[in-house]
Amino acid sequence: MSGRDERGDGKREGGAGDGTRRLRETIRGLLGSVEESALDGATDWVDASLQRWGEATGLRRFGQVPGRDQLTRVGEPVELSAPVGALRRGRVDHVRFHAGGRTLGEAPVERDGIARLIWTPDARATLVVEATPVGKSGRTFERPASRLVLQVVEDEPVAAVDVHDVLGASPARDRELRALAERGWAVCYFDLAVEQRSAEAHEAIAARGLPPGAVLSHAADEIDFPTLGVDFRRVFATTTLRRVRARGAAVALVLSSDATTVEGCAAEDVAGAATLPDEATLVELEAGARAPGGGRLAAMTRAPLREGQALHVELDNHAAREALFAAIDEAKERVHLQLYIVQPARFTDQLAVRLILAARRGVRVRLLVDALYSGERVLGLSNPLVNGLGQEPGIEVHAGDPIESPGDLEPLRLKNRDHRKLAIVDGARAFVSGRNAGDEYYTGFDEVAVFDFTPHEHIPWLDAHVELRGPLVADVERCFRGAWTRAGGDAFEVETPAPAGESAARLVVHLGVQDANGLLAYEALFDGAEDHIYVVNDFPVVDTLASAVRRAVHRGVRVRFLTGSGLARRADGSFFPGPRHRELFEYLTKRRLEPLMEAGVEAFEYATPPLEEVVARGGIVRPYVHAKLVTADGRIASVGSANLDATASYWEREANVVIEDPAVVGELEGRLEAMIATSHPLDLGSEAWAREATKRDLVARLWPEAFYS
């Protein structure tokens, strides 16, 4: 192998990374006219100098990003990733992953600068995996791009140890960990800090002779998630724990001096303690050590699967409106309705009339709205429609999480909102939806007249809900009751209805900053897919889920996104008149979708079929897509309120129904395939895509991360 970095064949026509290109331009600017061979030598000299500096004691990690440690079970595929710095990127052809003299595999460097390898371990081990860049001529770079630890377990009990305690250099903790290793336990480590500290943790582990193991860092998983000063330690701890257990690891004990972490373990049915338990307890833990049963979804969400459901997923706004109105009109005892946004609209007036008529015939109506996004009890403001309904006998109204004073304008209160949209009628029929109270959510595309200058606000959106009957309705109503009593409403009894069909489903409830259940449900769907995935959504995909999508693509799963346009487009791609912020949001979402398309995701922008009253250029509309719908392998589908972005994953409260019935999901996927067949394919090589590239890049750089979704 070469003793210096490989620089390829000297031809860099569009292939150089940004760092190399900038370096070459800087040298040319300093020296004037320079031969290409001289530029090659200069960039090699700088890169070699950085490598020598990087080997110095104080700078040994300069320019090298720590790898993302992994823990998995024998036979369970795992993604190994290695970032390649911008300075090298233009000269690297691929990355070779190797450990202990064994090559695990090779992977190309993707356009985001990361090489990803899906590898399936065949034996228990703790491996230090190095990712070595390989140049275009096949010669390797001298210094690895990154190092990571891959810990592979089998049936042995696993102890997860808080990195905070390891960095604290406690002799007592060190003795406990060595004792566990001597008993045959596997020891791994987890870090709840928002910064990446795996390198420091590995140094401490090696220096003190502690059992080697993976350092599972949430900071390595989620690089674009600003916590805004909110304590997410419990969420990070339970999320890490569920992921490890879902891979088949028998985590039996969590050691942490942090009381919040230990408390979270109790909720996960895992022993948590500040110090090592006594001998009798350890024997008991060893005897009962096993991964949770019920499959990946059960392990990740802890939501029970209910049999005996009758389910229907509705994508047509007109049909959705008629179904909801019919249910309210047929109500005999009670209507429970939870909404995120309530805005002036024809639909909202019609909804109000039906609720009033129901109340006047003796039906008890409970209406819960999000205060901030419905404009009710916000700094003295009131929503006339919501307020008016509350004055009607038989209708009780509450606004959740009101903003009563300027002191309430702080990040946690503003971002931890209730995004759920639920309707439960007589405890027997329920709707779990993505639709708010407004015309764009409940108006059919065939119910509007559209010409070239129709405002974006008049054009409906593609949305979805699931209507259900059966025992799961009780779970939905209990979800509503929790939010209702939290907002000051009275408690009420919930009875479980009899089976109504042959389908099985579970309700995944996400309580905002208390858990990450929605995120984990989507991750389980992506990681469990074997053949194909459909995603119907138009929000920026959070990093964790984007990684899960890439893992699916890498193992041969066909992934198709049906997205929309933040600002509605005509058939030729031009925008209908609309607010500037909608256009900017369109550029942001497409920019965040771009790396997934580069990784192999097929993306389509939804287009309506030709309609009689659509006379805009081309006779169709490419509208916004507000649906939150994911399906996998014709077996599993998720429908509800949770987008795939950071806000839904961590901040807001959400509810999704996960359907596990091939008959229902297969029929739904048939409808999605028909929609995709007439939609607009997004092509990274097209002139239309290139035309908006500068705007996408600019908006992605300037959009504030804390409010990007």
pLDDT of residue 702: 85
Radius of gyration of the chain (CA): 27
- CA-to-CA distance for 337 and 496, rounded, in angstroms? 18
- What do you get for the CA distance between the two ends of the chain, in Å? 48
- CA-to-CA distance for 539 and 609, rounded, in angstroms? 23
- CA-to-CA distance for 137 and 126, rounded, in angstroms? 32
Closest CA to 626 of 326, 341, 230: 341
- CA-to-CA distance for 248 and 156, rounded, in angstroms? 11
- Residue 470: which residues within 8 A CB-CB, separation 6 or more? 306, 308, 309, 310, 497, 498, 499, 500, 501, 503
Beta carbons of 146 and 67 less than 8 angstroms apart: yes
pLDDT of residue 663: 97
Beta carbons of 567 and 456 less than 8 angstroms apart: yes
Closest CA to 445 of 598, 226, 601, 616: 616
Site of tokens 């596990």: 660
Question: What would the DSSP string read from start to end of 444-511?
Answer: -GGGS-B-TT--GGGS--B--EEEEESTHHHHHHHHHHHHHHHTTPPP----PPPP-SSEEEEEEEEE
Site of tokens 């509503």: 480
> If phi over 0 gives left and psi between -120 and 50 gives alpha, with beta otherwise, what is residue 234?
alpha
pLDDT digits (tens, 9 = 90+) for 222-261: 555 678 888 888 888 899 999 999 989 999 999 999 988 8
- CA-to-CA distance for 296 and 523, rounded, in angstroms? 10
Domains and CATH numbers, the chain: 155-292 (3.40.50.1000), 310-707 (3.30.870.10)
- CA-to-CA distance for 463 and 409, rounded, in angstroms? 31
- Residue 26: which residues within 8 A CB-CB, separation 6 or more? none
Is the per-residue pLDDT at 24 higher than 60? no
Is the per-residue pLDDT at 270 higher than 50? yes
pLDDT digits (tens, 9 = 90+) for 473-492: 999 999 999 999 999 999 99
Beta carbons of 255 and 180 less than 8 angstroms apart: no
- CA-to-CA distance for 310 and 465, rounded, in angstroms? 14
Closest CA to 47 of 33, 37, 62: 62
pLDDT of residue 83: 85
> pLDDT tier at 625 (50, 70, 90 boundaries)?
very high
pTM for the full model?
0.88
- Residue 1: which residues within 8 A CB-CB, separation 6 or more? 139, 140, 142
Closest CA to 303 of 516, 132, 588, 27: 516
Is the per-residue pLDDT at 185 higher than 60? yes
Is the per-residue pLDDT at 536 higher than 50? yes
pLDDT of residue 404: 92
DSSP H helices, 644-706, are: 646, 662-677, 687-691, 693-702
pLDDT of residue 38: 56
266: exposed, middle or buried (C-beta count within 10 Å: 0-12, 13-18, 19+)?
A: exposed
- Residue 409: which residues within 8 A CB-CB, separation 6 or more? 403
Lowest mean pLDDT, pick from 64-78, 103-117, 467-481, 485-499: 64-78
- CA-to-CA distance for 376 and 383, rounded, in angstroms? 5
Q: How large is the average pLDDT for residues 599-608?
A: 96
pLDDT of residue 17: 45
User: How many CB atoms within 10 Å of residue 632?
Assistant: 25
DSSP H helices, 315-467, are: 317-329, 346-360, 371-374, 384-390, 411-415, 439-442
